[in-house]
Chains A and B, each alone.
Chain A
Amino acid sequence: SQTIHQWPATLVQPVGSPLSLECTVEGTSNPNLYWYRQAAGRGLQLLFYSVGIGQISSEVPQNLSASRPQDRQFILSSKKLLLSDSGFYLCAWRSTGVNEQFFGPGTRLTVL
């Protein structure tokens, strides 16, 4: 069966520090991968999506970037965090041709 992992589960970082969040999927090949951010009291905002290794599409301009160095690995990064980057970050995957997305457990990021 397929599983999706995210780490770390929680993270507290100072303003201006770098960021790296990791998402990995097991049990499937060539998934579509997605990064979402959920700010307090808001819905989910799609940040990035990827349909293959090295292929990244950005939905909104922001302080973050994403990379997909391996088929089942998706990384969310920042060189310098802002206070507004605080939130709950969710990774999701989808098999090509299947319409539903499956979500990871999320990472709670607090920028102080």
Chain B
Amino acid sequence: AQSVTQPDIHITVSEGASLELRCNYSYGATPYLFWYVQSPGQGLQLLLKYFSGDTLVQGIKGFEAEFKRSQSSFNLRKPSVHWSDAAEYFCAVGTTDSWGKFQFGAGTQVVVTP
């Protein structure tokens, strides 16, 4: 069974500073990896995904993530955060079978200060 760990429950970052959110996964095969963002009281929006190929993937809103198989990690980064990036971020690993189930991490709450 797959599992996902997001070690940081809460991160505070200054506007304009860089941001990195950590994600570690456990899965027996090549994983499908995702990052989603959730604004308060809203559903989840897909930021980016990794299936195969280039290990550095670009997403929406200026985010990128790097897949490192040796470290079982898929960390999310943004060079310069904006106040609108304050939200909760979820890493997920998807199965490669026909059911396509996801396992989500517990999430990282990002607070952006002026």
Hey, which bits of chain A sit against chain B, CB under 8 A?
32, 34, 36, 42-44, 46, 49, 51, 57, 59, 88, 90, 92, 94, 96, 99-106, 108
Residue ranges of B at the interface with A (Cβ–Cβ < 8 Å):
6, 32, 34, 36, 41-46, 49, 51, 90, 94, 96, 98-107
Q: A106 is contacted by which of B42, B90, B94, B99 (Cβ under 8 Å)?
A: B42
Tell me whether B98 and A51 are in contact (CB under 8 A).
Answer: yes
A108→B38 CA distance, assembly (Å): 14
Given contacts A44-B90, A94-B100, A105-B42, contact A100 B106 (CB under 8 A): no
Cα of A28 to Cα of B85 in the assembled complex, Å: 31
Contacts A32-B99, A43-B106, A100-B34; A105 near B43 (Cβ below 8 A): yes
Give the chain B neighbours of A106 by CB distance below 8 A: 41-43
Instruction: Tell me whether B49 and A100 are in contact (CB under 8 A).
Output: yes
Query: Beyond A43-B105, A90-B43, A101-B94: 8 further Cβ-contacts under 8 Å?
Result: A42-B106, A43-B106, A49-B99, A96-B98, A99-B32, A99-B94, A103-B43, A103-B45
CB contact under 8 A between A90 and B44, given known A43-B90, A99-B32: yes
With both chains docked as a complex, state the minimum distance between the C-beta of A76 and any C-beta of chain B, in angstroms: 15
